[in-house]
Amino acid sequence: MSTPEVYLQPHQARKRPNTPFEDLLGDSIERAFGNGVSELGDLLAHLNLAGPPCPLTSGEWTAEAYQTLMARLGA
Protein backbone atom coordinates (compact mmCIF):
# COMPACT_ATOMS: atom_id res chain seq x y z
CA MET A 1 0.00 0.00 0.00
CA SER A 2 1.34 3.46 -0.88
CA THR A 3 1.43 6.44 1.44
CA PRO A 4 -1.12 9.13 0.55
CA GLU A 5 0.32 12.36 -0.81
CA VAL A 6 0.57 15.02 1.89
CA TYR A 7 -0.55 18.52 0.98
CA LEU A 8 -1.60 21.74 2.65
CA GLN A 9 -5.03 23.13 1.99
CA PRO A 10 -4.88 26.95 1.78
CA HIS A 11 -7.46 27.34 4.54
CA GLN A 12 -5.26 25.37 6.95
CA ALA A 13 -2.66 28.14 6.86
CA ARG A 14 -5.09 30.90 7.78
CA LYS A 15 -4.68 32.64 11.10
CA ARG A 16 -7.91 34.63 10.73
CA PRO A 17 -10.81 35.00 8.30
CA ASN A 18 -10.31 37.19 5.24
CA THR A 19 -11.44 40.79 5.46
CA PRO A 20 -14.04 42.01 2.94
CA PHE A 21 -11.25 43.94 1.18
CA GLU A 22 -9.11 40.79 0.90
CA ASP A 23 -12.06 38.88 -0.57
CA LEU A 24 -12.68 41.63 -3.15
CA LEU A 25 -9.00 41.85 -4.04
CA GLY A 26 -8.72 38.07 -4.44
CA ASP A 27 -11.81 37.98 -6.65
CA SER A 28 -10.48 40.79 -8.84
CA ILE A 29 -7.06 39.14 -9.21
CA GLU A 30 -8.70 35.80 -10.08
CA ARG A 31 -10.82 37.52 -12.76
CA ALA A 32 -7.71 39.14 -14.22
CA PHE A 33 -5.85 35.82 -14.36
CA GLY A 34 -8.96 34.17 -15.84
CA ASN A 35 -8.89 36.78 -18.61
CA GLY A 36 -5.29 35.93 -19.47
CA VAL A 37 -3.49 38.65 -17.52
CA SER A 38 -0.02 37.44 -16.55
CA GLU A 39 2.15 40.57 -16.29
CA LEU A 40 2.23 42.92 -13.30
CA GLY A 41 1.55 46.04 -15.38
CA ASP A 42 -1.54 44.45 -16.91
CA LEU A 43 -2.72 43.29 -13.48
CA LEU A 44 -2.32 46.81 -12.09
CA ALA A 45 -4.29 48.22 -15.02
CA HIS A 46 -7.05 45.69 -14.31
CA LEU A 47 -7.12 46.55 -10.59
CA ASN A 48 -7.23 50.28 -11.37
CA LEU A 49 -10.28 49.71 -13.60
CA ALA A 50 -12.10 46.99 -11.68
CA GLY A 51 -11.01 47.70 -8.11
CA PRO A 52 -10.94 47.47 -5.24
CA PRO A 53 -9.05 50.73 -4.65
CA CYS A 54 -5.57 50.41 -3.19
CA PRO A 55 -5.62 51.18 0.55
CA LEU A 56 -1.97 52.29 0.57
CA THR A 57 -2.37 55.13 -1.92
CA SER A 58 -5.17 57.45 -2.93
CA GLY A 59 -6.74 54.38 -4.53
CA GLU A 60 -4.37 53.91 -7.45
CA TRP A 61 -2.53 50.60 -7.75
CA THR A 62 1.20 50.97 -8.38
CA ALA A 63 3.83 48.26 -8.54
CA GLU A 64 5.33 49.40 -5.24
CA ALA A 65 1.95 49.53 -3.47
CA TYR A 66 0.93 46.11 -4.84
CA GLN A 67 4.20 44.48 -3.77
CA THR A 68 4.06 46.10 -0.32
CA LEU A 69 0.48 44.97 0.24
CA MET A 70 1.15 41.41 -0.97
CA ALA A 71 4.12 41.19 1.42
CA ARG A 72 1.91 42.34 4.31
CA LEU A 73 -0.89 39.95 3.43
CA GLY A 74 1.55 37.06 3.08
CA ALA A 75 3.27 37.68 6.40
**pLDDT, tens digit (0-9, with 9 covering 90-100), for 6-44:** 777 766 677 888 999 999 999 999 999 999 999 999 999
User: Residue 10 falls within a domain, yes or no?
Assistant: no
> Do the beta carbons of residue 22 and residue 50 sit within 8 Å?
no
Is residue 65 assigned to a domain?
yes
Range of the domain at 57: 19-74
pLDDT in tens, 39-61: 999 999 999 999 999 999 999 99
Residue 2 belongs to some domain of the structure: no
pLDDT of residue 45: 99
What is the number of structural domains in the chain?
A: 1
Residue 14 lies in a domain: no
Give the pTM.
0.80
pLDDT at 7: 72
Examine residue 23 and state whether it is found in any structural domain, yes or no.
yes
| Residues 6 or more apart in contact with residue 25 via CB below 8 angstroms | 47, 52
Q: How confident is the model at residue 5 (pLDDT cuts 50, 70, 90)?
A: confident
Nearest CA-CA partner of 65 in 23, 15, 25, 20: 25
